Structure 1
Amino acid sequence: MLVLVIALSMLLTACAGNNNKPSENNGGAATNGGETTTPQEFRFTLASEPPSLDPALMTDAQSSIVAAGLYEGLTRLNANGEPENAIAEEITASEDGKTYTIKLRDDVKWSNGESVTAHDFEYAWKRALNPETASEYAYMLYYIENAEKYNTGGGTVDEVGVKATNDYTLEVKLYTPAPYFPSLISHYTYLPVNKGAVDGKPEWASEKETIVSNGPFLLKEWAHEDKLVLEKNPDYYNASAVKFDKVTISLINDTNTVYNLYDTDKIDWIGAQAGSVPTDRTPQLVEEGKATITSVASVYYYLFNNNKAPFNNAKIRKAFAMSVDRQSLIDNVAKANQQPAFGLVPPSIAGAGGKNFRELYPDTDYFKEDVEEAKKLLAEGLAESNLTALPEITLLYNTDDGHKAIAEAIVDMWRKNLGVEVKLANQEWGTFLESRKAGQFDIARSGWGADINHPINFTYDLIHSKSGNNDGKYSNPKVDELLNNSLVAASPEESIKMMAEAEKIAFAEDMGALPLYYYTTVTMLKDGFKNVGSDYAGHIDWVFGSKE
């Protein structure tokens, strides 16, 4: 399962420091050149409760959006996906590129007043790798020497290649050169945690009273299933860069309610995983210039349960995928200029030789929408499975008006095109994630946004049989072999070619999942706000915003 090792090193570059130091504003009414400034508040919504605010256990956008304000890592990605130094003051690679020495700032504090040290990073990374922690994203650390061995029960924690050599120096030993390392350590799995607050306290990140954080904001209120309130952290080392004094995040999954809050000036933002513009309003709002559509590096797709009849048969999976009219779905339901998807890698993801992945390897020849062929494949698949009719099938989605409308439209297509009845079921976000992870579904909604700008993030992560994010349990040894070999290919061109071959097999031959469209995000922002928007992956970038 060693992932993101050789292939990424061919394309990604090291980070540049963030030396911006705007004038200080530590919260409340402040002075700026003798003038009193009004406290700044920013308000937005999330569709559901963050399932976890523990960096080792986070897996979703809702949690990461909140965590972006609460925690600070060694680096941060800016809105363009480029790494900038945060707690790391200096990052130095050895001549062979396999050892990184990181000098930390000495002025960073935890919310309990303790200093943030290199020991906190060593503890946090080894905790994420500890099998007992059961971190789904532990594999993101596998490029560290002996990390996979320890995480899979074959080694000891002392063998893992990360060590605090003193309070403010972290040494990391890798299996292979990785110049993309500064990008990867921005991911929330690499965030530090405070050992005293965490050790022996599994629920430490579930209430505001017990969370110990180190970021630009402090969690001041967490009314579960209602709202979270964050306030500026006056002890944040770069407090002058933080302009919002208060951030209120309301938990609302009804898109019409979200829009009404925006329309009545009760929230300031909609979009990029933080609220959704109602699809029936989108065209008019865009035409009026009140909403903006932006393409992002994310894909919307459905999972088949590959281990459960009838979707353990490839022909039945193909029948369901080929009988969906994606453009009609976009034009009549999603309504945000999305692009039909026949694979998983979005058009904006980088390829090789200065070209995007889809320029090199279009997905339009993976399969075609063809109702008559779909009917034929369905009949053949039923015969191969010794079935005279399909068993009861349920499509599971997380509670959201947009997901509901899409599910209803697709179920209607299956009814009209295949003569198949599919039931609908929805669950609250946290429960939905648990059900999907446990394989308790027939078909389930899914979406994936880029962690880094590379196709391996959409191939290995989603279709390799051993990936923790392959919830449909798709498996093909040839796909695994291609993806494994892509990590050690002799050139970036060869590496990218192997990933493309793996993706094509997964859909042209196996239809391991059901791709629908490549995301756009529809955003709305009140006048007067600056440096708030969608990042390249389609998540709200809000932490260092401001209000005039």
Structure 2
Amino acid sequence: MIKLGSVALASTFILAACGSSNSSGKKTANIRESAELATMDQSKVTDVVGFTQLGNTEEGLYRIGKNNKIENAIATNTKVSDGGKTYTFTLRKGVKWSNGDEVTAKDFVYGWQRTVNPKTASQYAYIYSGIKNADKIASGKADYKTLGIKADGKYKLTVNLERPISYFKLLMGFPVFFPQNENAVNKYGSKYGTSASTTVYNGPYRMKGWTGSNLSWELVKNNTYWDKKNVKMDSLNWKVVKDAGTALNMYNSKKLDQTVLSSEQVKQYKSNKDYKKFLNASTFYIEFNQKKDKYFKNAKIREALSLAINRDQFVNKVLGDGSVAATGLTSAGLAKDAKTGKDFAKQVDVKSASEYNLKKAKTLMAEGLKEEGLKSIDFQLMSDDTTGAKQTTEFLQSAWEKIPNVKVSLSNIPFKNRLANSTAGKFDTVVTAWGADFSDPISFLQLFTSDNSQNNGKWSSKEYDNLINAANTTDASNTEKRWDDMVKAEQILLKDQGIAPLYQQGQSMLRRSNIKGIVYNSAGLNFDYKQMDVK
């Protein structure tokens, strides 16, 4: 997913969007984003802000339609053979990049190889696992050019897998698997994807006005896009507005066409005709830096901090935006057991990972401190600098300092900086999030294997690693065994309090009622604006 912050997803915030028609007759919209855009490089993006922009300016083999429906994009035909291990794609002719180059099979080969190349240092290279030689490339045992992808001429692409991947087609609609233009990457070098002018586009829109650090940019209709007749909007104007109050004022004065609401705003506007509510496949959680702060290796200390959080009070009183208390890592509603129909998140069911018990928290903290030879702990909690993020950290600070001998300071910094600090391990504890890249629990669970670059807290379990490996390899073709592997793995993570689940993100927003055609999916690319229209 995406870092929301994660995304990356991810992220750490899902976007807002909408529209109107101006006096010239052109269709345009003013869209609020609540965090900075970090990069437009498909090989380096990790967060929901970047994925949303890439998903609407670039295109791959498929687009993911409503309810996760696979729709042909650059691929016009797909043939699956060898027991689900070979995919042969016939590509659309005449698809153009914004620099005039034709999009061909070699662009996919180049883009995929660039992402898995260790020199690129892509945090998303792990998602290629299962494609022939991807794991060997990641471990330095094979050259990146041996990845199982081959161009057979300009319009035929063959992908070889090491095992059947049940969600493979869903991956093909995710920006990390989109083609890349080698001429553009070579031309701009290290500056590729760092601004609108150092990026090329083959999707419904082109980006204008993003310098790499500014807080506004524009997506304009891409007149070289192969399906431009189905793109109704002339432009989408993006504005980063971090303060919810400021954003609401802008909405009411018609400077924004959509805005995400704070809890207090929801109470006031939930009966408004423009009110909309979404529940995303994204989970916010707390990571403990076990490498930097050795006392966070103590499971009792981690569990004590988790037990001190009243999640129901938090989502109802602090957030109040439609979010729900998280019971685990994998978001509710993402996937169901094919045999029983039971939701994965409910099947995991580790109550101790998300319950509230301050008395037990105090006892466990005292025991943990004694085991570590400490009288107290004093650490920092890091998060973003938006209104909601600040309210979150203040709530957690208050909850944790109810435990004797615990002192917490806060660091609320820009989203881009928080991502960088998390990746570099420059934190004690951090509120982060992940949005599912596709509708399968593995999108969440593979984050916490010992060698995953997204595992910023460095929690580690050999048993967990073995179960995730089995789900991806030996049990990949056995639906029941694979499901059981994933259930057991998440139970291990939660019982050991490798993370502290916080909440599953919901969004309450105001969107102009005349805006139609935005495709929403809870996993992967959340908002697709290709068919957006203003009636």
The answer on 1:154 being equivalent to 2:165 is no
For the Cα contact (< 8 Å) 1:349–1:455, is it kept in 2? yes
- Could you give the per-residue CA deviations for residues 168-221 of structure 1, whole angstroms, max 9, x where no partner exists? 111111111235322111111111111111026121212222221111111222
**Matched residues in 2 for 1:534 and 1:467: separation?**
29
Deviates further, 335-344 or 213-222? 335-344
The answer on 1:482 being equivalent to 2:467 is yes
The answer on 1:348 being equivalent to 2:333 is yes
**Matched residues in 2 for 1:393 and 1:336: separation?**
29
Q: 1:281 aligns with which of 237, 250, 265?
A: 265
Change (3 A) 1:157 1:321: closer
Q: 1:298 aligns with which of 249, 261, 282?
A: 282
Q: Counterparts of 1:392-431 in structure 2 under 5 Å?
A: 392-418=378-404, 420-431=406-417
Give the TM-score of the pair, scaled to structure 2. 0.91
Deviation at 1:355, TM superposition (A): 3.0
CA RMSD of aligned residues (A): 2.0
**Matched residues in 2 for 1:475 and 1:359: separation?**
24
Change (3 A) 1:131 1:465: same
Change (3 A) 1:418 1:44: farther
- Could you give the per-residue CA deviations for residues 208-257 of structure 1, whole angstroms, max 9, x where no partner exists? 22221111111222253231112101111001110100111112212211
Alignment partner of 1:196: what SS?
helix
Change (3 A) 1:367 1:108: closer
**Matched residues in 2 for 1:180 and 1:410: separation?**
36
Q: 2:321 aligns with which of 336, 341, 364?
A: 336
Change (3 A) 1:158 1:541: closer
Q: Counterparts of 1:217-228 in structure 2 under 5 Å?
A: 217-223=205-211, 224-228=213-217
Give structure 1 stretches of 5+ with no counterpart.
Answer: 1-27, 30-35, 271-275
Question: 2:5 maps to what in 1?
Answer: none
Deviates further, 414-423 or 495-504? 414-423
**Matched residues in 1 for 2:265 and 2:423: separation?**
34
Question: 2:497 maps to what in 1?
Answer: 511
Deviation at 1:70, TM superposition (A): 1.2
Question: 1:250 maps to what in 2?
Answer: 239
The residue type equivalent to 1:253 in the other structure is K
**Identity rate of aligned residues, in percent?**
31
Q: 2:46 aligns with which of 49, 54, 59?
A: 59
**Matched residues in 1 for 2:436 and 2:404: separation?**
34
Alignment partner of 2:297: what SS?
coil
Deviation at 1:365, TM superposition (A): 5.4
**Matched residues in 2 for 1:481 and 1:140: separation?**
17
Question: 2:294 maps to what in 1?
Answer: 309
Deviation at 1:291, TM superposition (A): 2.1
Give structure 2 stretches of 5+ with no counterpart.
Answer: 1-20
Q: Counterparts of 1:15-414 in structure 2 under 5 Å?
A: 38-199=25-186, 201-223=189-211, 224-270=213-259, 276-307=260-291, 308-352=293-337, 353=339, 354-364=341-351, 366=353, 368-390=355-377, 392-414=378-400
The residue type equivalent to 1:222 in the other structure is W
Q: Counterparts of 1:461-476 in structure 2 under 5 Å?
A: 461=447, 463-476=448-461
- Could you give the per-residue CA deviations for residues 358-377 of structure 1, whole angstroms, max 9, x where no partner exists? 34333435463211111111
**Matched residues in 1 for 2:58 and 2:520: separation?**
19
Give the TM-score of the pair, scaled to structure 1. 0.88
- Could you give the per-residue CA deviations for residues 388-442 of structure 1, whole angstroms, max 9, x where no partner exists? 221x210000111001101101111112244522000011111110100111111
For the Cα contact (< 8 Å) 1:465–1:476, is it kept in 2? yes
Deviation at 1:351, TM superposition (A): 2.7
Question: 2:10 maps to what in 1?
Answer: none
- Could you give the per-residue CA deviations for residues 519-540 of structure 1, whole angstroms, max 9, x where no partner exists? 2111221121101264223833
Deviates further, 241-250 or 497-506? 497-506
- Could you give the per-residue CA deviations for residues 11-50 of structure 1, whole angstroms, max 9, x where no partner exists? xxxxxxxxxxxxxxxxx99xxxxxx992110221222321
Deviation at 1:515, TM superposition (A): 0.7
Deviation at 1:150, TM superposition (A): 2.3
For the Cα contact (< 8 Å) 1:124–1:192, is it kept in 2? yes
**Matched residues in 2 for 1:304 and 1:157: separation?**
33
The residue type equivalent to 1:404 in the other structure is K
Alignment partner of 2:465: what SS?
helix
The residue type equivalent to 1:298 in the other structure is S
The residue type equivalent to 1:428 in the other structure is P
For the Cα contact (< 8 Å) 1:341–1:363, is it kept in 2? no
Question: 2:18 maps to what in 1?
Answer: none
Question: 1:13 maps to what in 2?
Answer: none
- Could you give the per-residue CA deviations for residues 136-177 of structure 1, whole angstroms, max 9, x where no partner exists? 101111221112222332212342211111011111111112
The residue type equivalent to 2:280 in the other structure is V
**Matched residues in 2 for 1:81 and 1:252: separation?**
30
Change (3 A) 1:546 1:83: same
Change (3 A) 1:337 1:278: closer
Change (3 A) 1:295 1:288: same
**Matched residues in 2 for 1:367 and 1:141: separation?**
32
The residue type equivalent to 1:267 in the other structure is L
**Matched residues in 2 for 1:48 and 1:402: separation?**
12
**Matched residues in 1 for 2:425 and 2:444: separation?**
20
Deviates further, 492-501 or 247-256? 492-501
Question: 1:273 maps to what in 2?
Answer: none
Alignment partner of 2:301: what SS?
helix
Alignment partner of 1:154: what SS?
coil
Alignment partner of 2:286: what SS?
strand
**Matched residues in 2 for 1:179 and 1:300: separation?**
26
Change (3 A) 1:533 1:332: farther
**Matched residues in 1 for 2:493 and 2:134: separation?**
29
**Matched residues in 2 for 1:179 and 1:419: separation?**
49
Deviation at 1:102, TM superposition (A): 0.6
**Matched residues in 2 for 1:471 and 1:82: separation?**
33
The answer on 1:498 being equivalent to 2:482 is no
Alignment partner of 2:287: what SS?
strand
Alignment partner of 1:440: what SS?
coil
Alignment partner of 2:294: what SS?
coil
**Matched residues in 2 for 1:237 and 1:68: separation?**
16
Alignment partner of 1:480: what SS?
helix
Residues matched between the structures, number: 507
**Matched residues in 2 for 1:512 and 1:179: separation?**
28
